[in-house]
Amino acid sequence: MKKLKIAFFGHTSCKGCFFEFLILGEKILDLLKGTDIVHFKMIKEYNEKGPFDITFMDGAISSEKELEKLKEIREQSKFLIALGTCACYGGIPSMANVFKHPEKMVYPEPIDHKSTKVTPIDQHVKVDYYLRGCPINKEELFNVVKDLVNGKIPREKDYCVCVECKLRENRCLFEDGIPCLGPITYAGCNAPCPSVRAPCDGCRGPLPDGNIKEMINLLKKSGVSRGDIKRMFKKYALMDKKFKRVKI
């Protein structure tokens, strides 16, 4: 059987999603039965050029140079996966969009990064699959690659975190007055946060058909201020149209 060529590329991010892949540990050996990791600069000294069968694209786009690279890699990739919330929505790096000169807040000397607005990758190129989460869920990544190796197109979960939370028989945090974004957030993580009594803060991004109006009402009833609701919505998906239109 011909092995699928896999590549990992990164733009603006913390690279935590790469580490999630690496901590798959021995399961990586299982994946390598049907794939070859031909490009992954974090772990390989020699990296091949495209074409690639599966490309994992981590990080948001924050410069012209990154945008050029993204377009080039898209052309070389049969199946392009947005890896993590930075790539899918802009994520934490997109918070820079609300400040005038964010680099000055971080670097003592001016830098020549030629920054642009921080954007998710699908604002520029076609994405074939979204591996959401900050960080991603490594089991989901494993299953997506397995599906592709077996000739199946992986399916994204299009329901909310509450479904997985209920399957784990958790008591809803709202019953104890703790606000949680589970009802409007994409599932796929298996609800790890509410399972340890920590609220979901929406790291997998908003469902297109999530009832934002009702979510705002619920948060207000739990005593969350308008400012905090805005901050909760903007933490990971500031650039998502769904949250941009919202009136709180």
The span from the CA of 143 to the CA of 12, in Å, is 25
Binder of ligand SF4 out of 90, 120, 194, 206 (CB under 6 A): 194
> DSSP string of 211-243?
-HHHHHHHHHHTT--HHHHHHHHHHHHTT-HHH
Q: Which residue is nearest to ligand SF4 (CB)?
A: 182
Counting contacts by CB under 6 A, is residue 14 touching ligand SF4?
yes
Instruction: Please report whether residue 58 would count as binding ligand SF4 according to CB under 6 A.
Output: yes
CA–CA dist 48, 212 (Å, integer)? 45
87 to 106, contacts with ligand SF4 by CB under 6 A?
91-92
Is 193 a binding residue for ligand SF4 by CB under 6 A? The answer is yes
Contact flags string 103-142 toward ligand SF4, x per CB under 6 A? ------------------------------xxx-------
**Considering the complex, what minimum distance in angstroms separates the CB of residue 117 from ligand SF4?**
17
Paired tokens of 204: 């997998």
Tokens encoding 88: 């899918």
Element (H, E) at 163: helix 161-167
Torsion of CA 77, 39, 149, 185, to 10 degrees: -70
Which residues, 6 or more positions from 100, have their beta carbon under 8 angstroms from its beta carbon? Answer: none
Quote the least distance from Cβ 71 to ligand SF4, whole Å.
21
List residues near ligand SF4 by CB under 6 A. 13-17, 58, 84-86, 91-92, 133-135, 161-162, 165-166, 170, 172-174, 180, 182-183, 185, 189, 191-194, 200-201, 203-204
